[in-house]
Amino acid sequence: MRGTREQIRRIPKTELHQHLDGSIPPSTIWRMMRRHGLNPVRDLGAMRKLLTIQEGEEGTLLAYLDKFHYPLWITQFYENIQEATEAIVREAARHGVKTLELRYSPVIHTFAGLTLRQAIRSVLSGLNHASRRYGIDCGLIIIAMRQHGPHIAKILARQAISEAQHLHDRTGVVGFDIAGPERTTPPRLFREAYEVAARGGLGVTAHSGEEVGPEVVWQTIEDLGVSRIGHACSAVKDPALLRRLARDKILVECCLTSNYQTGAVGRNEKHPVVEFVEKGVPVAICTDNTTVSGTDQTRETLLLRRYFSLKDIARIHSESRQHSYILKRPRPSTR
């Protein structure tokens, strides 16, 4: 197993679905907590239990999201966000990630006075520094939280465009996303925000099908015009939907560990990624939240070994790179 793990670690990897808030290394959070005199527990070990899903806490999305509270204590300050971003990229590089799209909801990082632009620029500053240092292609996806409503989503889409990678000669915003409670916020409510983002040259993805049925995944495709979908676990229940995803090459951002932890996939069930691949649906192997889920890209990729050969796994990572929004952003003219 150790030899296989090392082979997996060396595979060039593509990470298309990783949240900043849920992926800050615990040691980085602990250091920042102590710097600000905010540490709620006595040592790093106890802090890890607050940040990472523990035995007995799995099974619901609510319990999973509860782990995001403490990082928000320290990600309200520009320097902290920049430092946290660099730490995430450093960890990704250790596991062979060559293309990294980090995603982030700037609104929830403005409680201490940062403007939306500052909240976005803090991440981009960290990505620019770390991208050069570790040789990783990086980009930022801006998330609008469903519970904040359609108007905030439109504001975020416009702000995201102002920092778009194709408008600047540096790492920038490459995509737009919505996340949060699916049951009470149908995709159609965010149609205008997605139209703004798409017209501004951003790639569009959406969390969908994690806690609702395939009918909502259909709505996400039809109403928002997405080229990728985060999770989409329920899509395997609808053969016609699988055919649509395969036909239109709509990539599913698969997050195996977190799907089991949130109950989106039953612990004894085969993960939908297998059927996606068998039906010709493009997939990416993603970590979602490395700290909350207690995982990394090597571990997530290693989970595929029970289903696929090393050659097939390397191909999945290679092909998913072609769906990266980073690669689709035209560079500014040098003339």
Q: Which of 15, 210, 253, 300 is catalytic?
A: 210
Start-to-end CA span in the chain (Å): 52
3-state secondary structure of 181: coil
Helix spans in 225-309 (H): 239-247, 256-262, 273-278, 290-293, 297-303
Query: Which residues does 309 contact at the CB level (< 8 Å), separation at least 6?
Result: none
| Distance between CA atoms of residues 208 and 213, nearest Å | 9
Residue 95 in contact with residue 101, Cβ under 8 Å? no
| Distance between CA atoms of residues 232 and 279, nearest Å | 14
| Distance between CA atoms of residues 237 and 201, nearest Å | 33
User: How crowded is the C-beta side of 95, counted as CA atoms within 13 Å?
Assistant: 23
The yes-or-no answer on residue 79 being catalytic is no
Catalytic residues: 210
